[in-house]
A and B are shown apart, each in its own frame.
Chain A
Amino acid sequence: MNVMTCGDPDEAVAGIEDGSTVLVGGFGTAGMPADLIEALVRQGATGLTVVSNNAGNGDTGLAALLDKGRVRRMVCSFPRQSDSWVFDRLYREGRVELELVPQGTLAERLRAAGAGIGAFYSPTGAGTLLAEGKETREIAGRTHVLEYPIKGDVALISAHRADRMGNLVYRRTARNFGPVMATAATTVVAQVREIVDIGALDPEAVVTPGIYIDRVVQVVPAA
């Protein structure tokens, strides 16, 4: 048990190095670790590879990180949204690279990284642009595409509640990428709405066991 309870989001993101691969949880704004991303903007690491389902909304959070030129490469499934103007502009200007990954393949590549799987074959994307240049194999009469894990140096995720062991519970669809990203990075940072004492979470209800978590920080939601 070696979970650091941080006093604020700035402490929680301290030490993230230039050129890191950063996994960022959330689907749209649900489960988005907004305070950790804002702290990362202040922290200043640059040349980042960011792995996240979307590529920022509006002008805050991931969009602010992109806008400041800190992101060299985005790995995501759905960058284009009605309010993704920051990413759209940078992409069209050739100032950010994009690796587009089908959403389920993104989740499974993260899961594979966390589970120590070397690579896996998936039928998703076979025969499409997104499989070009990838190894394929016929398995049970179906074309499968070889996919490699995505491992992060850091994961920034958001959960509902943590205990001081780092055990996490989520709330509703804000769970999304949190549990798989928590397994897939060297250093995992969780922002939560409440940190509770050891023993206060029902062990049967824990979704992410504390073994995966390195730092937690409590962020009181804006009223």
Chain B
Amino acid sequence: MKVLKGFLRFILVVVAIVLIFAIVIICTYVLGSPNTDTGTESRNIVSGPWTEVVGDDPKAELYSFDFNQSGEFKIAKGDKQIADGWFKIDEKSRKIKLLMLPSHYTEEFAPYVNYKVLSEVSFSNLKFQIKEAEFGKDPEIIKDKEPTVSFLIREAGDKEGSGETLVMNCKMYEYTLDLYSSEHDLTRNA
């Protein structure tokens, strides 16, 4: 009887731990999800398809990042999607926090995910082509030149300097700036 009681207690403790872990994951994902109604200004900046630029090898499996106005992202390597979910931008630290459900990333991407829910992408060198300012005017973004950015994804545990860091230099080839948000399409309004 005593053994049975001990066994049941052990089972209950395990179930409680699993339950707490599941609740933490669900709360992190649900409460951390971005507002999907309207895009924020920083979302406007990163929104669109960013494609890695590496040499001329046509067979190279390039990374591509797609962030949209509703706060959703997709990461692909070559034709294969390796992660998708929601994102939030921390402009001060230039970091993009990625929120994913465990089934929404592949094993290949798993090393870059902390706590099986969160990952972070740092972005640096976000550059828009700027037209030289005329006298007395502010410089202007050249509307149809692609911006460039470097994305860095750190392997979980990299705080100790042990993990790998992926660095991807990307361009947004489909970029044209227009006042109708991120849908760069002349048929957007008619």
A binds B: no
A residues with a Cβ closer than 8 A to B are none
B residues with a Cβ closer than 8 A to A are none
